Amino acid sequence: MNFTESLKLQKRFNDLIPGGSHTYAKGDDQFPEFMPVYIEKGNGCHVWDVDGNEYIEYAMGLRSVTLGHNFEPVVKAAYKQMLKGTNFGRPAKIELECAEAFLGLIENAEMVKFSKNGSDSTNGAIKLARAYTGREMVGICADHPFFSVDDWFISTTPMNSGIPRVFEKMTTKFHFNDLASIEKIFAEHPGKIACIILEPEKYEPPKDDFLNKAKEICHKNGALFILDEMITGFRWHNGGAQKVYNVDPDLSTFGKAMGNGFSIAALAGKREFMELGGILHKKERVFLNSTTHGAETHALAATIATIKFYQENDVTGYLNQQGKKLKEGVNRASRELGIEDKISIIGPNCCSVYTTRDQEGNPSQPFRTLFIQELLKQGLLMPSSIVSFSHSDKDIYETMEKMHNAMLVYKKALEEGIEKYLVGRSVAPVWRKYN
């Protein structure tokens, strides 16, 4: 692999863009130092960088591209709509069409409000919960990594510089599959918590009807139950993970894959909560999501096309099928090499990640860097193991072979020392106090 042009661009990116990227997870500090990889184009599950290197990709727009890059039915729909105009001074008919299509999938929701990114939607959900209950505090799942760019969440992370400390007191944490921890936060803050928010599933499924029981605890304490389906929506089931686990949330949020990479997100929920952001009631008004570009018509057209493709094809079934093949193949290879306790693919087949552990079996950023380095050499852009509808059997089997080659180097580094094989500095966690 040759990275000459990418390395030339690296300084310019960092000179003009804080962090060298508009998204922290895509930043230089998340990839090997001398392999910055700036993308030129993509098609299906393949991407090409500015140096002409080709990769099979497994990041897929941070899980937002489930069908594939440059996916023709979606791109054509967006293009056709763009020729009619993208943003007007009054609602466009397609806004209603998209709302009807979306609510036709998400059975538990009665109203929906579109926006451009997930944080808009989760912020709106929190605001509705606070307005409805008259309370300020929020309970968040400590085992789930990200909910919003807003102060109510970022204040709880190590990167809380610039945020008034008062916000820290407004957010408390509980743990997934731990009902006692939810009971505890309500006992510690009686009458103060407006809602809890969590993902329906991350790396382990909810156990013993956890989601419904968590909802019961919320309602018993006068709080709302919010599911963040940014990732699980359009991956677990057409109706979201709430359909899989038969739970009826008060509010839920969607984004990422619902537009196959186009900028679109949704806040959906029960009418009694959602209508607070409307004009057909006599209660105190709530300033819900109101963004200039929240209903750009081409993104809505892309969403409708994505929904249509999901309804006509078993996309989520295919994601699980291909993800299972990849997981089984990679885990078999690591087992045969005797490093299955160091490298393995974990999590749901439709949305998995791989582990990178050191000689003692502890999660290791240096070994993660080494593995990404060796994967890039093999032509795999693979910070995670996210499959799409465009990952064919050929792509999966080629990936298995290339990951096996990377694991051979990984095993040598375990035996001989990582400094012998890792080039440059280690990657670092996004959530850290200092650079």
Residue ranges per structural domain of the chain: 4-69+314-420, 87-295
Nearest to 273 by CA among 121, 131, 139: 131
What SS3 state is found at 54? strand
Q: Check: CATH 3.40.50.720 for 4-69+314-420?
A: no
- The percent of residues in the chain predicted with pLDDT above 90, rounded, is 97
The contacts of residue 389 (CB under 8 Å, 6+ apart) are: 66, 67, 68, 71, 313, 315, 318, 319
Nearest to 376 by CA among 30, 9, 92, 20: 30
Both structure tokens of 312: 């006509």
Q: With 90 as the cut, is the pLDDT of residue 236 above it?
A: yes
What are the residue ranges of helices labelled H in 296-378? 297-312, 315-336, 365-377
pLDDT per residue as tens digits for the range 196-211: 999 999 999 999 999 9
Q: Check: CATH 3.40.640.10 for 87-295?
A: yes
Specify the pLDDT at position 297. 97
Torsion of the alpha carbons at 200, 201, 202 and 203, rounded to the nearest 10: 170
Band of pLDDT at residue 1, cut at 50, 70 and 90: confident
Which strands sit side by side in the sheet containing 39-43, from one edge to the other?
39-43, 46-49, 54-57, 380-381
Question: What is the C-alpha to C-alpha distance for residues 372 and 405, in angstroms, rounded to an integer?
Answer: 12
Specify the pLDDT at position 331. 98
Q: With 90 as the cut, is the pLDDT of residue 128 above it?
A: yes
pLDDT per residue as tens digits for the range 298-355: 999 999 999 999 999 999 999 999 999 999 999 999 999 999 999 999 999 999 999 9
How many other C-beta atoms can be found within 10 angstroms of the C-beta atom of residue 225? 23
Mean pLDDT for 36-51 is 97
Could you give the angle at which helices 393-416 and 315-336 cross, rounded to 10 degrees?
30
Q: With 90 as the cut, is the pLDDT of residue 109 above it?
A: yes
Evaluate the CA torsion angle 244, 276, 256, 109 in order and state its sign.
positive
Q: With 90 as the cut, is the pLDDT of residue 362 above it?
A: yes
For every residue of 137-200, DSSP letters joined together read EEEEETTS----SSHHHHTTSS--TTS-GGGGGGEEEE-TT-HHHHHHHHHHSTTTEEEEEE-S
Average pLDDT, the chain: 96
Give the residue, 174 or 292, on which the prediction is more confident: 174
In this structure, the strands spanning 265-269 and 111-115 are antiparallel
For every residue of 213-242, DSSP letters joined together read HHHHHHHHTT-EEEEE-TTTBTTTBTT-HH
What's the pTM? 0.95
pLDDT per residue as tens digits for the range 150-168: 999 999 999 999 999 999 9
Phi and psi dihedrals of 171, rounded to 5? -125, 135
Specify the pLDDT at position 69. 98
pLDDT per residue as tens digits for the range 45-85: 999 999 999 999 999 999 999 999 999 999 999 999 999 99
Mean pLDDT for 400-429 is 97
* Max CA pair span of the chain: 71
How many other C-beta atoms can be found within 10 angstroms of the C-beta atom of residue 28? 17
Long-range contacts of 83-89 (CB under 8 A, 24+ apart): 84/297, 85/297, 86/296, 86/297, 86/298, 87/292, 87/293, 87/296, 87/297
